[in-house]
Amino acid sequence: MTAISVVMSVYNGAATLASTLDSILGQTLRDFECIVVDDGSTDDTPRILTAYSARDPRIRVIRQENGGITRALIAGCEAAKSAVIARQDCGDLSRPERLERLLPLLETCVVAASQVLYTGPNGEPLYTTAHSSKNVHHSLLHGDVGTIQSLPHHGSAVFRADAYRQSGGYRPQFYFAQDLDLWIRMAALGDFCITGDVLYEARIDAGAISSIHRREQVASAIVSIALRDGGGSLNDAAAIRPARRPITRSERAKGLYFIASCLRRRSDPRWRGYAFRAVRTLLLGGAA
């Protein structure tokens, strides 16, 4: 049995898939399997996965029809053979020592994570999280929708497979906030450990920052908290599904402006380019 099963879902992630896989294969802890669930990709993702799995047998590929990240993660975690499961998102990077540093924390905790460096579309450093283990754990058990605090990033989590299964795992009814729903239930089983070191880099772009599904995320969080407190219904979660619409110019401009603001606070001169693109997108509808 390998020490860790890394579980990742990908849908049309060809542009960033190779760099993400390279970051996993470059881990200082070598004893792992990497389960990648291809959620019905129609771009070059299947070819890239075939090439990587042929080169390194630690990469296992599961292919399914497009069903969303939650169902993909359920399939990946069900296939995991290790006592520990590590999450990874396509497009993000795990620093080389991530798995080696987090694995020992699970001797006393059910979930471990690190701080996260959020980066822009081209890898520009934007900001770093500063989460507290105690605050996150208490918040998951007692917080309301206005105060609840999750992990620094879904993909940064490493957790014990037995606790994952005891908690009931990811629930397919949650299209949104599936990670918060899981952490709430796992928090009832033991402590969370969040190291102060940055071991994970999460890439964000203007479309992601714009949070076009913010309303659905909040609604799903409300359901998770209600279920924790003895109310609510999984049918409530199942009823929350994305509205199929494109990102508006205003939403993309806000995302570009956010990136510009982060870069400016870091005295990174690249902020000007993003600010210009934000104005151009908003006023002229130019390419972002």
Closest CA to 175 of 215, 205, 139: 215
- Look up the pTM and report it: 0.95
pLDDT digits (tens, 9 = 90+) for 41-72: 999 999 999 999 999 999 999 999 999 999 99
Could you give the angle at which helices 14-25 and 45-55 cross, rounded to 10 degrees? 20
Contacts of 278 (CB under 8 A, 6+ apart): 253, 254, 256, 257, 260, 288
- In the chain, which segments carry CATH 3.90.550.10? 4-238
Contact 182, 170 (CB under 8 A): yes
Identify the pLDDT of residue 117. 98
Contact 224, 157 (CB under 8 A): no
pLDDT of residue 286: 54
Tell the residue number behind the tokens 């104005």, with chain if given: 279
Residue 213: the pLDDT is 82
Is 4-238 CATH 3.90.550.10?
A: yes
pLDDT tens, per residue, the chain with 288 residues: 899 999 999 999 999 999 999 999 999 999 999 999 999 999 999 999 999 999 999 999 999 999 999 999 999 999 999 999 999 999 999 999 999 999 999 999 999 999 999 999 999 999 999 999 999 999 999 999 999 999 999 999 999 999 999 999 999 999 999 999 999 999 999 999 999 999 999 999 877 655 678 889 999 999 999 999 999 999 999 999 987 777 888 888 999 999 999 999 999 999 999 999 999 998 886 555
Q: If 0-12 CB within 10 Å is exposed, 13-18 middle and 19+ buried, where does residue 127 land?
A: middle
Contacts of 150 (CB under 8 A, 6+ apart): 136, 140, 179, 180, 183
Q: Residue 229 has what pLDDT?
A: 97
149-166 pLDDT tens trace? 999 999 999 999 999 999
Euclidean distance between CA atoms 174 and 181, whole angstroms: 8
CA angle 10-225-180, nearest 5°? 25
Q: How far is CA 254 from CA 92, 119, 210, 243, in A?
A: 22, 16, 6, 20
